[in-house]
Amino acid sequence: MNSADRDRLYPGRVTPPPDDWRSFAWDGGLFQAAARPYTAAVEGTILSAAPILMTTLRGGAERHEMANADGRRYDGPDRPGAVSFLPAGCARSLRLRGVAWHWASLTLAPGAAASVPSFCCVEDPVLHGLLAELDRLHRRDGALDGTYCDTVSALLGAYLARRFGAAGVPPERPLRLTARQMRRIAEHVEEHLGGPIRIGALAALAGLSEGYFHRAFRATTGETPLAYVTRRRVARAVDLLRAGDLPIAVIALEVGFASPTAFARSFRSIVGAAPSAYRRRLDLP
């Protein structure tokens, strides 16, 4: 298909445009798919006159920031299996960082899934699997059967209405941080225990917004970033108490606490004893 046809059918205006773009239109809808090699940044908008369902088949984006005209927001990673839905006439602005993916979309009939609100990057194996099968058939045959597409579209519309209609859209659960992200965060914390550690700096290491990072970190570790940093400061203080006879006030500063009082309060809450009492225990035969 030539670039003029792509511009006419493609629901988004993004820069740079996708590669390996394919489509199949029939009376009841439109299937589209595209691939993109690694691209540092992609920005643009999506606006469709009919409801559109999208999924990430392979690859993804390190960070996906989107804002819908209806007020829906998302800021986080985009992973294989992520599914998004945009109602008819609802514009979506997006910014992606670190993108390398293969996606597919299905534009439904104008009146389909009318009760379904927008959502972004929700995990749903049914929706993802049906779009992945359409993509497989299209890649294999170079076209799709219109009757089959009508059947799939009707199934998708009914499933969307039952699963997500009437305010049934689940909140976007933060995806867990990867092992690489956690390793970079842990290394940074250990290197900077003696000074201020800003949550914004940790979020930047993970390539996430501060708010999303906070939720994803808690989902991954079971504690907030601040609690994690405090626990690591206290663990370093325990090592210093065991290793020598530095004054407690000096140890407090060495591990990044603003005052001995703040240090003692955090130490007691984690260890179960004040620093001075803990040191006395170490001196017992």
Q: What CATH number is given for 3-164 in this structure?
A: 2.60.120.10
Instruction: Provide the pLDDT for residue 251.
Output: 95
Alpha helices in the chain (DSSP H): 3-9, 125-141, 146-164, 179-191, 199-206, 210-221, 225-243, 248-254, 260-271, 275-283
Please indicate, yes or no, whether the overall pTM of this predicted structure exceeds 0.85: no
Mean pLDDT of the chain: 87
Q: Residue 7's pLDDT is what?
A: 42
pLDDT cut 70: percent of the chain above it: 92
Q: Is the pLDDT of residue 78 over 60?
A: yes
Cα 70 from Cα 63, distance rounded (Å): 21
Each residue's pLDDT tens digit, 212-265? 788 889 888 889 999 999 999 999 999 999 988 899 999 999 999 999 999 999
Q: What is the pLDDT of residues 97-128, one digit of tens each?
A: 899 999 999 999 888 888 888 888 888 899 99
Q: Is pLDDT of 9 > 70?
A: no
How high is the pLDDT of residue 167? 53
The residue behind tokens 């609100």 is: 117
Q: What is the structure's pLDDT at 219? A: 85
Question: In this structure, what are the phi and psi dihedrals at residue 10, rounded to the nearest 5 degrees?
Answer: -65, 125
Nearest to 99 by CA among 179, 173, 219, 14: 14
Least confident of 26-35, 64-73, 194-203: 64-73
Report the half-sphere exposure of 213 (CA within 13 A, side-chain side). 20
pLDDT confidence band for 175 (50 / 70 / 90): low
Q: Is the dihedral of CA 122, 123, 125, 129 positive or negative?
A: positive
Q: What is the pLDDT of residues 149-160, one digit of tens each?
A: 999 999 999 999
Q: Where does the pLDDT of residue 13 fall: very low under 50, low under 70, confident under 90, or very high at 90 and above?
A: confident
Q: Domain-by-domain residue ranges, the chain?
A: 3-164, 179-283
Fold type of domain 179-283:
Arc Repressor Mutant, subunit A (1.10.10)
